[in-house]
């Protein structure tokens, strides 16, 4: 039975969750993982009143953790640059690294993997995407014989929680406050609600599936802050719901990456995943379409992923895993060249000729209209108009939106892309 001596860097919610899980489930981990885990040292700038570290040595300088006789540094401090320096220093000192930090892998993955390979150690990061839901090992090991043509999913639990509550009729601001109260959102939720967190995760999955570099070239990212609860009402009437979707595709040597809100059929697998659950669809040549889902946030789910990496380290003699193979430069598609159907929500004055003016703009831009419905009056003389377009090229979208908003009779306009199979 292999024994792993580990040092934990960080002492926040994720780190204390890992510590408590190892202590409470020690016998189960030992039996199922065929390993012993010994927590030798913790790097913590300050104590955490929510967790008693017992007799474990505490280092106030996290870099001093590396000086101890340990096999693995578990990096749980978050952030980017300090985490990068800590990981590289651990690698230099021949320590394996396990991290749940998607940002540092996204921004510095290639550099980190190159140094790990050079020093004969591993860097594992199962919990960096979808917490403990085992997507990393699925892509790098179980699907090794498959060509993956598409990965699409909800990769941010906070956003999915907010959108699920809005679907029930709550507004954005109150739902965000609830997410923060429940611990699903950070005090500063910007990375979650602006799409950055999901973008980091889909970039990592693209790297693993297609060999693209980290960080990838810039790609389109949009958050959920512009969505209103009334959009759910009208989307549901048309057989859709609204999700924040991250997509990676690979075809004919060209990679497509994007992360933004979409209308998707309410009969689809992803549409029916609620609350903080993450869900991913993977299209492969040998197995067809796979679905995987699990909790995307929380101490326990993240601890599960970290421990799975520790078990992998204890039971593997290989020094190089797929994520440490040098990357290849792959051409990225121009987002503006993609075509989508669009949902438009327009608040306009209820006057003769207004609908004709809006329709004429769509005609001028050569954008076909699949359906148009004028809804019940919102307030005196103001009516909402809901339009679903035919597919048209993204390059024309902003210009169309601007032309509509410039009409004197239009008070408000917004749009959401429609994701089709």
* CATH pick for 135-295 out of 3.90.550.10, 3.30.1340.30, 3.30.360.10, 3.40.1160.10: 3.30.360.10
Token couple for 316? 């593997």
Fold entry, domain 338-418:
Alpha-Beta Plaits (3.30.70)
**145-161 as b/e: b if 16+ CB within 10 A:** ebebbbbbbbbbbbbbb
Handedness of CA 70, 37, 294, 116 (dihedral sign): positive
Average pLDDT over residues 301-330: 75
Of 42-51, 236-245, 258-267, 372-381, give the lowest mean pLDDT range.
372-381
**Using CA atoms, how far apart are residues 260 and 270, in angstroms rounded to an integer?**
15
Q: Which H or E run contains 334?
A: none
Q: Which residue has the tokens 């958050």?
A: 223
The closest alpha carbon to 10, from 47, 54, 38, 40, belongs to: 47
Q: Would residue 229 show up in a list of annotated catalytic residues for this protein?
A: no
Write down the mean pLDDT value for the chain: 93
- Can you give the pLDDT at residue 412? 95
| pLDDT of res. 77 | 96
| pLDDT reported for residue 184 | 84
When computed from its CA atoms, the radius of gyration of the chain, rounded to whole angstroms, is 24
The string of pLDDT tens digits covering residues 106-130 is 999 999 999 999 999 999 999 999 8
Do residues 326 and 375 touch, judged by C-beta distance below 8 A? no
The answer to whether 8 touches 59, Cβ cutoff 8 Å, is: no
Full strand arrangement of the beta sheet holding 72-75: 57-59, 35-43, 2-9, 72-75, 96-99, 123-124
The catalytically annotated residue of 102, 122, 201, 243 is: 201
Q: Which residues contact 281 (CB under 8 A, 6 or more apart)?
A: 150, 151, 152, 153, 269, 270, 289, 290, 291
Q: Do domains 2-131+315-324 and 135-295 have the same CATH topology?
A: no
pLDDT greater than 90 at residue 211: no
- On the question of pLDDT at 241 being above 90, the answer is yes
- Phi and psi at residue 259, to the nearest 5°: -150, 115
Mean pLDDT throughout 202-221?
Answer: 91
pLDDT digits (tens, 9 = 90+) for 278-305: 999 999 999 999 999 988 767 888 899 9
pLDDT reported for residue 320: 46
Instruction: Name the residue with higher pLDDT: 327 or 189.
Output: 189
pLDDT at position 267 over 90: yes
Q: What is the mean pLDDT of residues 83-101?
A: 97
Class of the domain covering 2-131+315-324: alpha beta
- The domain locations on the chain are 2-131+315-324, 135-295, 338-418
The model's pLDDT over 340-372, given as tens digits with 9 standing for 90+, comes to 999 999 999 999 999 999 999 999 999 999 999
Tokens of 79: 């952030």
> How far apart are the C-alpha atoms of 222 and 244, rounded to whole Å?
9
The pLDDT score that the predictor gives to residue 46 is 93
Tell whether the model's pLDDT for residue 262 goes beyond 90: yes
d(CA 269, CA 292): 10
Tokens of 208: 């693993």
State yes or no: pLDDT of 324 exceeds 70: no
pLDDT (0 to 100) of residue 94:
97
- Of 224-233, 261-270, 334-343, 368-377, the least confident: 368-377
């Amino acid at each position: 039975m292999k024994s792993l001596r580990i040092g934990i860097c960080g002492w926040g919610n994720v780190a204390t969750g890992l510590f408590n899980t190892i202590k409470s489930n020690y016998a189960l981990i030992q039996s199922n993982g065929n390993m012993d885990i010994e927590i030798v040292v913790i790097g913590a700038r300050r104590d955490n009143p929510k967790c008693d570290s017992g007799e474990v040595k505490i280092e106030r300088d996290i870099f001093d953790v590396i000086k101890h006789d340990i096999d693995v540094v578990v990096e749980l401090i978050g952030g980017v640059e300090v985490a990068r320096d800590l990981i590289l220093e651990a690698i230099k000192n021949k320590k394996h690294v396990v991290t749940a930090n998607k940002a540092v892998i996204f921004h510095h993955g290639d550099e980190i993997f190159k140094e790990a390979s050079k020093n004969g150690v591993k860097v594992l990061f199962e919990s960096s995407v979808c917490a403990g839901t085992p997507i990393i090992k699925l892509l790098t090991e179980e699907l090794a014989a498959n060509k993956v043509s598409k990965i699409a999913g909800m990769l941010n639990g906070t956003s999915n929680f907010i959108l699920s509550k809005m679907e029930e009729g709550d507004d954005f601001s109150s739902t965000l406050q609830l997410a923060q109260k429940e611990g699903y959102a950070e005090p500063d939720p910007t990375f979650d609600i602006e799409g950055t967190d999901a973008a980091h995760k889909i970039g990592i999955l693209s790297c693993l599936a297609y060999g693209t570099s980290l960080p990838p070239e810039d790609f389109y990212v949009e958050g959920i802050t512009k969505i209103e609860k009334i959009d759910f009402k009208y989307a549901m009437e048309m057989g859709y719901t609204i999700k924040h979707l991250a997509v990676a595709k690979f075809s004919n040597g060209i990679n497509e990456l994007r992360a933004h809100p979409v209308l998707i059929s309410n009969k689809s697998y992803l549409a029916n995943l609620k609350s903080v659950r993450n869900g991913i669809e993977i299209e492969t040549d040998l197995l067809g379409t796979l679905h995987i889902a699990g909790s995307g946030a929380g101490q326990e789910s993240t601890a599960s992923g970290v421990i799975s990496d520790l078990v992998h380290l204890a039971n593997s003699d290989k020094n190089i895993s797929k994520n440490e193979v040098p990357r290849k430069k792959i051409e990225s598609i121009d987002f503006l060249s993609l075509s989508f159907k669009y949902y438009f929500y327009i608040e306009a004055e209820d006057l003769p000729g207004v609908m004709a003016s809006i329709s004429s703009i769509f005609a001028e831009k050569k954008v076909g209209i699949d359906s148009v419905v004028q809804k019940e009056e919102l307030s005196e003389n103001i009516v909402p108009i809901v339009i679903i377009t035919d597919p048209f090229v993204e390059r024309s979208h902003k210009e169309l939106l601007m032309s509509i908003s410039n009409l004197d009779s239009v008070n408000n306009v917004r749009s959401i892309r429609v994701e089709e199979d």
